[in-house]
Amino acid sequence: MAVAVKSVEQICRDARRASRVLARTPTGVKDAALEAIARALEARLPEILEANERDMEAGRAAEISDALLDRLRLDEERVESIAAAVRQIAALADPVGEVIDGRRLPNGLDVRKVRVPLGVVAVVYEARPNVTIDAAALCLKSGNAIVLRGSSTAAASNDALARIAAEAAVGAGLPEGAVSLVAGGGREELAELATQRESVDLIIPRGGESLKEALQAVATVPVIYAASGNCHVFVDAAADLEQALAILLNAKLQRPGVCNAAETLLVHEAIADRFVPVAAEALSEAGVTLRADDRAHALAAPAAGERAEPAGEHDWATEYLGPTLAVAIVASVDEAIEHIQRYGSGHSEAIVTLDAAAARAFQLGVDAACVYVNASTRFTDGGEFGMGAEIGNSTQKLHARGPIGLRELCTFKYLVEGDGHVRA
């Protein structure tokens, strides 16, 4: 594995050399390497937890938010879950070599469109050490070398996890440089990584808007932005209100500090007087502060008390990543769609309704990577979608959108076979 004394340029060059070997590595070898990584995580659990506790102590001393501390924290159960995800990725079909399309042309040439690895993928991420392993496993399975660059907040955790993964992968037959970590947490290393066009094929950032802006300012390597999530739950006039409450509470409370958690509740005015007070009471009891428009505030305040506050314009576009929820009342499905299109981030949006026409209008009208009918936004996840894990959720429209899994880490090429063919 790459160590701190190597420059970013050298780390990326080593990864490029490794990628050429990985592109033709048999599936069985890659799967054996993933199993070796999973076993190493389990065997070296104390080492991982000790490194993570150093990061947690530093985070508490720096008074980082509870949401970020939750992202940072590792325990035995979370490490076991990470190892299980590695094994799930190993069990998935290898996308490399998959024939996407094939045909014989009228001139007799045989043309096949097949999946191939991208080459070298750099993943830049903040305060989420599980990404170190999830990203490495997905890249290795899809035949890519990976260069990791985490934040200083999780420096010890990322170093331990990347070192363990790299050692296990090499021990199982993968090339040196297949998994590398850029140790520096400064913007200088980020800028250098983002301009390694000769070695790096793609950068995927996972973090807030500041990381996105920093990359946009300097990147010459192609970027897929695994962006923030300002996600909405819209409770329609035809909703089952008991079902709507369960979906809302899950979307907001199951894990508030993640990108697919709900940040705004939209309620149809026809059922607002029945639903808003009940939702406000349940949310306030769970410790959630409501930032509500005038109509919603009047309905929520009696139940939520001081936890119901007037909303400002900025609230509709805010990703809280914590126990705060914006609430607005709308007159129609179209108004809900308009609100989402104006303020949403294109991540995950949900409607709760028993009206098929309203559901269809929402599905067609909302421009987002994932659109749900009668289900929580919390399902936007590579593991939940059967991808084993994910590197992030793309809100872009080109190449990849939604969870970035194995197939999204591949491109394709055309294999053309003839019998002495020349073009007239």
Which residues touch 265 (CB under 8 Å, ≥6 apart)? 232, 233, 235, 248, 252, 279, 325, 326, 327, 328
User: Can you list the domains of the chain with their CATH numbers?
Assistant: 8-226+391-417 (3.40.605.10), 231-379 (3.40.309.10)
Q: What is the pTM of this model?
A: 0.85
Which residues touch 219 (CB under 8 Å, ≥6 apart)? 194, 195, 203
Query: Which of 212, 154, 221 minimizes the C-alpha distance to 183?
Result: 154
- pLDDT tens track of the chain, all 424 residues? 444 468 999 999 999 999 999 999 999 999 999 999 999 999 999 999 999 999 999 999 999 888 789 889 999 999 999 999 999 999 999 999 999 999 999 999 999 999 999 999 999 988 789 999 999 999 999 999 999 999 889 999 999 999 999 999 999 999 999 999 998 666 788 899 999 999 999 999 987 778 888 888 899 999 998 767 899 999 999 999 999 999 999 999 999 988 899 999 999 999 999 999 999 999 999 999 999 999 999 999 999 999 999 999 999 999 998 999 999 999 999 999 999 999 999 999 999 999 999 999 999 999 999 999 999 999 998 889 988 778 888 888 888 899 999 999 999 999 999 999 999 8
308-310 and 348-352 strand pairing = unpaired
**Is there a contact between 239 and 294 (Cβ–Cβ < 8 Å)?**
no
